[in-house]
Amino acid sequence: MAGKADLHVRTTTSGGKLSPAAALGLAKEKGLKAIAIVEHDTLETLPEVAGLSKMMNIEAIPGVELIYEEEAREAHIIGYFVDWHNSRLLSEIARTQTLRINRAAEMLEKLDGLGLHIVYEDLLREAGSSSVISRTHIAHHMFRRRMVKSQSEAFEKYLARGKPAYVQSEQTPVYVVLGFVQDAGGVTALAHPKFGNAEKMIPQLVEEGLNGLEVYHPNHTKSDVAHFTRVADKYGLVKVGGTDSGSGCVGEVTVPYKTVEQLKKKIK
């Protein structure tokens, strides 16, 4: 079937700049056949998205992006076509959100000890409808307050692994993370494998039932695309891609709609 799809869209619920309605509206305006809403560690947008999808007559794939960290490795696991009523997935997400809130508070304590005072309530106001406070929210606040010259500098000097304000997150084993998505009827994919040493985890993830690999991403170069195309072919993974719209864009990076059909064939 002809048409294009953006399979990595985040809204204001998880650090994006567009509301769910605005994201679907922009996708419709650009003539996309489908988009996947995959918020970080939350499903709360999905009921609204389902209603908007019917009203706007554009396919919106219900999804989630679960963040896994293990020492020097970080993997973002996308789940497509998840059942947002699934109690096991909801329980894990609620637990993860609590852990991330506690982690953010610990990072703020460390920054305070370095002479960089940030009020948690100020972060909440800036985050708006975001479900949890992430390192990205803290970096943005530091940049806005002119504590650093850029968000990248906030990570490089304070928030990245090994830096003075970094706090290791408590982590569920990666095979269990994949299991949560699979239990909810979802199809799994590894997002932006270029980052966080995630590529090293691909063989293990494939053994645990990984279905797809994000080959197309705004921060992937042509060389990256060629490389991850070969990796996907090697392991028989569906080649997905999308805008990862923290920038407020939708449809900047797309894949043919046949990719959606390939993902649907993986639903069990």
Report the phi/psi class of residue 253: left, alpha or beta, with left for phi > 0 and alpha for psi in -120 to 50.
beta
Residues of the chain with pLDDT below 70 are 1, 71, 128-132, 245-248
Dihedral Cα 183, 184, 185, 190, nearest 10 deg = -90
Q: Domain 94-159: state its class.
A: mainly alpha
Q: What pLDDT does 1 receive?
A: 61
Mean confidence (pLDDT) of the chain: 92
Cβ neighbour number for residue 72 with a 10 Å cutoff: 10
Domain with CATH 1.10.150.650 in the chain: 94-159
Domain with CATH 3.20.20.140 in the chain: 4-85+174-264
222 CB-contact burial (10 Å; exposed 0-12 / middle 13-18 / buried 19+): exposed
What token pair was written down for 153?
A: 């500098």
Q: Are 60 and 260 in contact (CB under 8 A)?
A: no
Residues in the chain: 268
Q: What pLDDT does 206 receive?
A: 97
User: How does 138-171 read in b/e, with b if 16+ C-beta sit within 10 Å?
Assistant: bbbbbbeeebbeebeebbebbbeeeeebbbebeb
What token pair was written down for 154?
A: 């906030």
Looking at the chain, the whole-number percentage of residues with pLDDT higher than 90 is: 72
Q: What are phi and psi of 228, to 5 degrees?
A: -75, -20
Fold observed for domain 4-85+174-264: TIM Barrel (3.20.20)
What token pair was written down for 49?
A: 């998205």
What token pair was written down for 135?
A: 């390192």
- Across the beta sheet with 59-70, what order do the strands follow? 238-241, 212-216, 187-190, 73-80, 59-70, 34-40, 4-9, 255-256
